[in-house]
Amino acid sequence: MSTTFKLGQRVKITGTTERHRDRIKFAPRNSNMVATEVKELWPELKAMPDNGHDGMLRTSLIETETTATEGVIVGSRTMAQGLTYDESWPESNCFLPCETNRVWLVAFHLRRKPVMCFDHQVQAFPVPESVTVPMPHIPHPGFHSQGHFMRTAARNIKNDYPVGGYSVTTAVIKLLTDTANAMEETR
């Protein structure tokens, strides 16, 4: 079963995935049917030990431990595992994909490269449906209600106009700050 996360969603990380490249000894029985043969034998080829410098280049995904415990989803990728058939001289090398997996890109630090994780290595934090925020006070609302001033401020923000006067701007800043504090308290 595949899990779907939203961009920017906060998640717990239990492990990471890395792309690993090594060489294995493999000689296809029929050079005209290499792709079919590699797909059929992929489970066995995936389990073969590394052969050092000789043989075909194998690209696989391996699970590793993680130092980070939580992060934010910044994207997803489809990664292919398979062999690079490079013994077809004088033709160029050919990558033969055998298995594809979706991995999630998780940023655990702003200044570091995101890590790749399989579905079972990330868990979403529970997000509450709503938060309670105290009502901001706008001093001297005049003959309009405070709700009218807040609706006007929201409309102005939406249309890229100045929010309003000093009192309304202060109230909007306080409302946003209180909302952020309430959201952090529910973690």
pLDDT tens digits for range 45-67: 888 888 777 778 889 999 999 88
Residue of 14 and 166 predicted with greater confidence? 14
* Separation of alpha carbons 168 and 148, rounded Å: 11
Residues 29 and 115 in one domain: yes
Beta strands in 25-143 (DSSP E): 56-64, 70-85, 94-107, 115-117, 122-124
Last residue of a domain, one of 89, 106, 124: 124
Give the type of residue at 52: G
Residues 134 and 116 in one domain: no
**How far separated are the first and last CA of the chain, in Å rounded?**
27
Asked if residue 69 is part of any domain, the answer here is yes
Joined together, the tokens standing for residue 67 give 């130092």
- The number of folded domains in the chain is 2
Residue of 53 and 24 predicted with greater confidence? 24
Please give the residue range of the domain that contains residue 133.
128-187
Tens digits of residue pLDDT in 71-107: 999 999 999 999 887 765 666 788 889 999 999 999 9
Residues 27 and 69 in one domain: yes
Across residues 25-32, what is the average pLDDT? 81
Contacts of 65 (CB under 8 A, 6+ apart): 15, 16
Residues 120 and 34 in one domain: yes
Residues 74 and 95 in one domain: yes
**pTM beyond 0.75, yes or no:** no
- Sorting pLDDT into bands at 50, 70 and 90, what band is 141? low
